[in-house]
Amino acid sequence: MAITVEEVFETVKMTLDHHFDIRTVTLGINLKDCMDRNLTNFCNRVHKRIVENGKKLNKFADEIEQKYAIPITNRRISITPASLLLEPLPHTKATVVKLAKTLDSAAKKANIDFIGGFGALVQKGMTSSDKNFINAIPQALGKTQRVCGFLNFGTTTTGMNMDAIEMFGHILKQLANKTKNGIGCAKIAVFCNVPEDNPFMAGANHGVGEPDFSLNIGISGPGVVRDVVLQNPDCDLTQLSEVIKRTVFKITRAGELIGREMAQLMKVDFGIVDISLASTTTAGDSVAEIIEAMGVSQIGLPGSTAALAMLMDAVKKGGAMASGNIGGLSGTFIPVSEDSGMIRAVKSGALNLEKLEALTAVCSVGLDMFAVPGDTPSEVLSAIIADELAIGMINNKTTSVRVIPVPGKKYGDIVHFGGLLGSAPIMKVAQKAAPDFIARKGRIPSPITSMRN
């Protein structure tokens, strides 16, 4: 697909005026051939491969940045789901922690921002290795800086693993208590219908159906979309959808250009462009402010869900027109702590947890980067996760939860995470939810919509 000079100049203008960037270039690396029954040999192979390819990723990302003057904010690596790699090794916490430290060390040496894939696929059941892996998460993520994890608890075709969901409520509490302000919980996301090619953390992983290497691009441009919405205050919603669609088309074309050229330079497969609008703490770079620019007084108030649904549809249509390699999550993130408009809405009372859950029914990915009191019971955390993942299971979409129970904080307090993670008001949650329901465990069967063969 040819990219014109005019498109490049238009993209540069977006970069200068509206915070447009390539949010991440994520190199997926298959580590299955590094597997070994000897832990030292295994970790040495993993470390060597990540360092070599991570340095290469940074080198070519720098070259592309200079060539096109489009910032590449994050350079990341995703790996084969870690629990699979650990199957031949002794099922001990020490083994899991050793791999996490190896990944962290390699990412640091290669100057990679984050490394994802430290996770497990347990949507239908757990092996003894999977259980050991999940139990080791608090220690593994508590002792590393750049490692990000994921767990897939359900799919539309298998149903939801409530044994694992019940277990994870306790794990979250342990992880929160091992890290300052519970920040370790920001490094792990749980999913229903997790994609294999997601370039965004914390859920990135290089799925078992992927090639040896693939380069995936995560673009972002909420500031660009917000600007075009503000420039069209009088058009009807049909026209506004067209305006957004054309804008996302241009953004996606830029991502396609970067991705294909980088993949060619690295001599790896070009994977996908994830067209998700991802907020940052920078002023104006907010998905909530797009919704408000459409005419909703404040996100969370009536009208928000309809406006977000329209935005999602326009984003997907614009991206699909621009590239045949759309993948990952591709939609609109609504993280609380990373979006200044979302933070304002929570503080003012316009947005609560129940409305946030309703918004996730029409957007990607789910309940993201929200903080709750540190004394929230583990069964309540499990119940919140079960509710959100059920939306994904029934509607055949990806949903996720990244919740942070902050030790020592209560409803109304503010916690500052710093950097890209921003700040979060502690949201109000029930102190008792569904203890007997969660305690039943088992598996919620897949919906009838799964029978399509």
Of 27-31, 123-127, 137-141, 318-322, the one with minimum mean pLDDT is 318-322
Of 61-70, 116-125, 391-400, 423-432, the one with minimum mean pLDDT is 61-70
Task: Output the pLDDT for position 16.
Answer: 47
Q: In this structure, which amino acid lies at residue 125?
A: G
Segment 307-316 mean pLDDT: 94
Average pLDDT, the chain: 91
> Is a pLDDT exceeding 90 seen at residue 137?
yes
Radius of gyration of the chain (CA): 21
pTM score > 0.75 for this model?
yes
Closest listed residue to residue 385, CA positions, set 337, 346, 437: 437
Q: Which residues pair with 273 in a beta bridge?
A: 217, 326
Q: In this structure, which amino acid lies at residue 276?
A: S
Measured over the CA atoms of residue 92, residue 94, residue 96 and residue 98, the dihedral's sign is negative
Report d(CA 319, CA 83) in Å as an integer. 33
Burial tier of 300 (Cβ tally within 10 Å: 0-12, 13-18, 19+)? buried
Task: Output the pLDDT for position 19.
Answer: 56
> Is a pLDDT exceeding 60 seen at residue 259?
yes
Domain boundaries of the chain, sorted by first residue: 1-334
Report d(CA 446, CA 372) in Å as an integer. 30
Query: Which tokens is 269 given?
Result: 């497969």
Of 321-335, 380-394, 435-449, the one with minimum mean pLDDT is 321-335
> Which residues, 6 or more positions from 366, have their beta carbon under 8 angstroms from its beta carbon?
360, 388, 389, 391, 392, 398, 399, 400, 401, 402
Of 114-118, 130-134, 220-224, 244-248, the one with minimum mean pLDDT is 220-224
pLDDT band of 397, cuts 50, 70, 90: very high
> Is a pLDDT exceeding 90 seen at residue 165?
yes
Report d(CA 270, CA 216) in Å as an integer. 7
pLDDT band of 422, cuts 50, 70, 90: confident
Task: Output the pLDDT for position 223.
Answer: 86
Measured over the CA atoms of residue 251, residue 242, residue 366 and residue 81, the dihedral's sign is negative
Fold observed for domain 1-334: Anaerobic Ribonucleotide-triphosphate Reductase Large Chain (3.20.70)
Report d(CA 186, CA 344) in Å as an integer. 20
> Is a pLDDT exceeding 70 seen at residue 86?
yes
